[in-house]
Structure 1
Amino acid sequence: MSSSSAAAGPGGRTEAAAKPPMRDALVAAAFRLFTERGYEQTTVDDIVALAGVGRRSFFRYFPSKEDVVFPDHERCLADMTAFLTAGTDADEPVRRVCDAARLVLLMYAENPAFSVQRYRLTRQVPGLRAYELSVVWRYERALAAYLRARFAGHRDGTLRADMIAAAVVAAHNNALRSWLRSDGQGDPRAAVDHALAQVRAAFAGAPPASGPPAGEPRDGAEGPSERGPSAARSGEDVVVVVARRDAPLWRVVQELETALGPR
């Protein structure tokens, strides 16, 4: 997580000699223990003991043990949201969301060794895979929210926004995961650019026509996906998952996967 060269820090010390920030120290301690003992066998008490801090310090930075595995996603999501918000009406919408997705790639590329280590860990721990899905969903919703606003008032605007957001995430993740499976060898930017170019080729055209299509509910009207279980077609299975309002999204996803079982 550090470079081979040391830069001068405050007071003439080098960055290599300076004490790392507590947040970084907790992440480093956690991943060392995950590697040595396994994720499930490592507790928060183990992490803070190795880092030399108290439990209160851990929870000041991370709500749970799962969060220490993804220490950079909140910052990246905030950066993506700010990037999208800073856009103008002159920006081509599909290009803008593709550029926003590249911010996630840059986050992973900042530290290939850590990114590969985390990828391997999440492949081994089902709970972390569910957590990761919730993170990906938040990125997708941020992209979709921007596109919905840009396509507001156009025919199939919401549908188009959701389709493009899903396609951007799928294309980005396909290229990113190929790079991670290669142990972070080479520069992933070209592969991600190629994947996102496919999205732009498929969707970057004339804006959707104005007005809703015949038979489609207008904004605010009840649509098929909003009518609840009673609208399910005859013979379809309906799965209802009950969760606390304050339950983390990754836990809800995990419960849903368990309820659905193998597909």
Structure 2
Amino acid sequence: MSSSSATARRGEKTEAAAAKPPMRDALVAAAFRLFLERGYEQTTIDDIVALAGVGRRSFFRYFPSKEDVVFPDHERCLADMTAFLAAGVDEDEPVQRVCDAARLVLRMYAENPTFSVQRYRLTKQVPGLRAYELSVVWRYERALADYLRTRFAGRRDGTLRADVIAAAVVAAHNNALRSWLRSEGQGDAGDAVDHALGYVQSAFGEALGAPAGGHRAEEEGEDVVVVVSRRGAPLWRVVQEIESALGRS
């Protein structure tokens, strides 16, 4: 074989390899193809790796379980959120900062609307996935609350304030995100989330003595939702009341 032929063959192999999706992406694509064709419960890890053309060890190198392949980007997003919050400075308005951190989650969903909508449908159908998703959401909320607890340290009811604001941010973000997913990913998800988070910033940002984002919601002609809850009410009840108010708006 001539050297030119060998070089050409190597070039073809390189191009073919470049055309293939990374193994992690190939596993996710294979999994969702099977989930849509057969159903989540009827699909096994062996089925996924067979379709992807890899072995079981390759699957577990990327995903600890079948549930994790449904949510492949949340670990990265959680790490990005944590790093974003840690990079903040004392001059940052804390409620604005956690709202901006929540927008990182939205960006992850908006990067691939088709996949996000498919996952939303699948999660609604499988109770186990819904429970898994709730555990992921709780981790986001904890990251926001941990940041706010640090910022409110030493203030009266600082821990309570941090936990309530973190829960409100998650509730507002998820309310807008679910509406966007139910619409099949149509429209600008960013506008919907900004609108929802505006309620949180209006309710809590100004209460700390500084208008969130450098402006008042009233100056933009926006409605303000005020939620009244009894002292000592559990956080889940406060969040439920916030979500209810947003849903009726």
Q: TM range, normalised to the smaller chain?
A: 0.7 to 0.9
So what's the TM-score if we normalise by structure 2?
Answer: 0.77
Paired residue for 1:108? 109
For 2:15 and 2:200, locate their aligned partners in 1 and report how far apart those are by CA, in whole Å: 45
1:131 aligns with 2:136: no
For 1:100 and 1:16, locate their aligned partners in 2 and report how far apart those are by CA, in whole Å: 36
Instruction: Give aligned-pair identity as a percent.
Output: 85
Letter of the structure 1 residue corresponding to residue 31 of structure 2: A
Paired residue for 1:174? 175
Letter of the structure 1 residue corresponding to residue 206 of structure 2: G
Three-state SS of the structure 2 residue aligned to 1:205 is helix
Paired residue for 1:143? 144
So what's the TM-score if we normalise by structure 1?
Answer: 0.73
Paired residue for 2:31? 30
Three-state SS of the structure 1 residue aligned to 2:122 is helix
Paired residue for 1:90? 91
Shift in alpha-carbon separation, 1:195–1:22, aligned structure 2, 3 A: same
Structure 2 segments unaligned to the other structure (5+ residues)? 1-10, 210-231, 233-249
How many Å apart are 1:187 and its aligned residue? 1.2
Structure 1 segments unaligned to the other structure (5+ residues)? 1-10, 209-223, 225-263
Q: How does 1:50-69 map to 2 (within 5 A)?
A: 50-69=51-70
For 2:57 and 2:134, locate their aligned partners in 1 and report how far apart those are by CA, in whole Å: 28
Q: How does 1:207-222 map to 2 (within 5 A)?
A: 207=208
Three-state SS of the structure 1 residue aligned to 2:67 is helix
Letter of the structure 2 residue corresponding to residue 164 of structure 1: I
How many Å apart are 1:61 and its aligned residue? 0.3
How many Å apart are 1:205 and its aligned residue? 2.4
For 2:126 and 2:192, locate their aligned partners in 1 and report how far apart those are by CA, in whole Å: 27
For 2:164 and 2:15, locate their aligned partners in 1 and report how far apart those are by CA, in whole Å: 48
How many Å apart are 1:16 and its aligned residue? 11
Paired residue for 1:195? 196
For 1:47 and 1:81, locate their aligned partners in 2 and report how far apart those are by CA, in whole Å: 32
1:70 aligns with 2:75: no
Three-state SS of the structure 2 residue aligned to 1:153 is coil
Letter of the structure 2 residue corresponding to residue 43 of structure 1: T
Which one has a larger percent helix, Structure 1 or Structure 2? 2
For 1:15 and 1:172, locate their aligned partners in 2 and report how far apart those are by CA, in whole Å: 41
Q: How many residues align?
A: 199
Letter of the structure 2 residue corresponding to residue 133 of structure 1: L
Letter of the structure 1 residue corresponding to residue 19 of structure 2: A
Provide the alpha-carbon RMSD of the alignment: 1.9
Paired residue for 2:236? none
For 2:16 and 2:193, locate their aligned partners in 1 and report how far apart those are by CA, in whole Å: 32
**Structure 1 residue ranges (4+ consecutive) displaced by more than 3 angstroms after TM superposition:** 11-17
Q: Deviations over 1:75-106 (max 9, x none)?
A: 00000000000000000000000000000000
For 2:86 and 2:28, locate their aligned partners in 1 and report how far apart those are by CA, in whole Å: 30
Shift in alpha-carbon separation, 1:185–1:14, aligned structure 2, 3 A: farther
For 2:180 and 2:17, locate their aligned partners in 1 and report how far apart those are by CA, in whole Å: 28
1:158 aligns with 2:159: yes
Paired residue for 2:215? none
